[in-house]
Amino acid sequence: MGNNWIKTSKGVFKALVLIVLATHYTTLPAQTPDQAADAAVIRKIYDQALTDGLCYPWLHDLCFDVGHRLSGSIGAEKAVRWSKAVLDTIGLDSVWLQPVMVPHWERGAAEEVLVIGTKKRAGIRLDALALGGSVSTNDKTLSGEVVEVTSWQELDDLGERGIRGKIVFYNRPMDPTKIRTFEAYGGAVDQRVHGAARAAKYGATGVLVRSMGLRLDDYPHTGTLRYDTTVTSIPAVAISTNAAERLSALLQTESTARVSMKLDCRTLPDVLSYNVIGEIRGSEFPDQVILVGGHLDSWDVGHGAHDDGAGCTQSMDVLRYFRQMGYKPRHTIRCVLFMNEENGLRGGQEYAREAERKGEFHVCAIESDAGGFTPRGFGFDAEESVLNKFFEKVAAHQSLLEPYGLKLAKGGSGADISPLKGQKGLLSGFSPDSQRYFDYHHTAADVFEAVSKRELELGAGSMAALVYLLDKYGL
């Protein structure tokens, strides 16, 4: 009896499964001919990205043949020549250089930051990188008592009496509870950007800043700062998260511990550089542009692979896919490799000015500047009426992107494309998985080997798929 019951139960279960599946598939809406055609094109884009993509070998060449490429440097100059030469091989309708004057800051000799004058631990080296734009210590060693703060309120409460003549140590970590790591970054990066200026107002002689990273390691994260011209500019360095933990623990037992700093950096006169641009001209709307891009400059440590060599080579490959497919776009599809995102944004500003002068309208500008990780989707920023129109016309087709793990959502774009907001088109930021991004951001660990070939190619395919939908359905 038991065996017969089991057989009967299995039969009933199988029948129920078949009924459920049949009901499910008969209630799914059938694809229209247009949707089927779109799905085929998008499938072809991904097939090409994953079998014939060049973004990964291009990234290898950018990292190893060019290297890091801070604005104004020889590396940046080489990057401009390299990227134009590569775009010239794709068979685009136009490739050109757009002149822009950029800042020129040099790090100089390696930073020396030591804990000194403590009872037990004198001479401890702190892994450090000068913040971009920092002044030097004028061929001297700057030393002083350290005061730790974790908020602007603590800084203000100490005031001049507690800060004058001392070195301020900003030790507010990125919030690990934030699932969106860019939100955690946004909640901590103000101390790096404005810390030196605000401490200088109270008479501080120097600044240490905890690195903007979630992982505990020995890699200091550089990044730009902003001085206040009404107060004296003071030297500023980022120290690694491990160094910040050690220094903070030491200050709990020795509140008068001292640190010495020696920085060799300097700011030189501005230098002529270029945005690198290539395009496929639109057949119906040549003055309406769909832009894909990243920033060509990087910090002067590591290879600048995730930030933002990945975004540059992905954007270049997007145009190559369309050329290889023989696709004739309705709108102009343009790749822009911006110069000077890291410490000035002058490339993005100059590009927007020139677009305005030429009377070009950007239907959408898509920036890839969040690393070469697994694609998750795109964020969109625009006036509410533009966003609503987009989600009615283009995002209505996002079911075509769902098989590739992509979601389209409001919010977020990119720094280089932000000056285009006045055109009232659509701005978009490519959103890969961000959980590991700040392990590499602005560090010597941001090297070619940290980038996955498949993830990079999937990102380029995702960008091309969105461009295709935008070109077909417009705004």
Active site residues: 341
Structural tokens at position 444: 């010597």
Q: For residue 3, what is the enclosing H or E element?
A: helix 2-27
Which pairing describes strands 236-239 and 128-130: parallel, antiparallel, or unpaired? antiparallel
Residues 236, 142: Cα–Cα separation, whole Å: 11
Residues 59, 90: Cα–Cα separation, whole Å: 16
Residues 273, 287: Cα–Cα separation, whole Å: 25
Helix ranges restricted to H, 291-424 = 310-325, 346-358, 384-393
- For 124-156, b/e burial (b = at least 16 CB within 10 A) is bebbbbbbbbbbbbeeeebbbebbbbeeeebbe
DSSP character for 131?
P
DSSP characters for 31-92? PPHHHHHHHHHHHHHHHHHHHH--HHHHHHHIIIII----TTSHHHHHHHHHHHHHHHTTT-
Q: Say what angle helices 190-200 and 152-163 make with each other, to 10 degrees.
A: 30
The answer to whether the peptide bond before residue 439 is cis (omega within 30 degrees of 0) is no
Residues 235, 376: Cα–Cα separation, whole Å: 39
Q: 370, 314 in Cβ contact below 8 A? A: no
- Cβ atoms within 10 Å of 256's Cβ, excluding its own: 11
Residues 216, 323: Cα–Cα separation, whole Å: 45
Residues 45, 63: Cα–Cα separation, whole Å: 26
Amino acid letter for position 406: L
DSSP characters for 161-205? HHHTTSEEEE-----TT-SSHHHHHHTTTHHHHHHHHHHHTTT-S
- Cβ atoms within 10 Å of 414's Cβ, excluding its own: 27
- In angstroms, the Cα distances linking 355 to 165, 289, 358, 417 are 49, 10, 5, 12
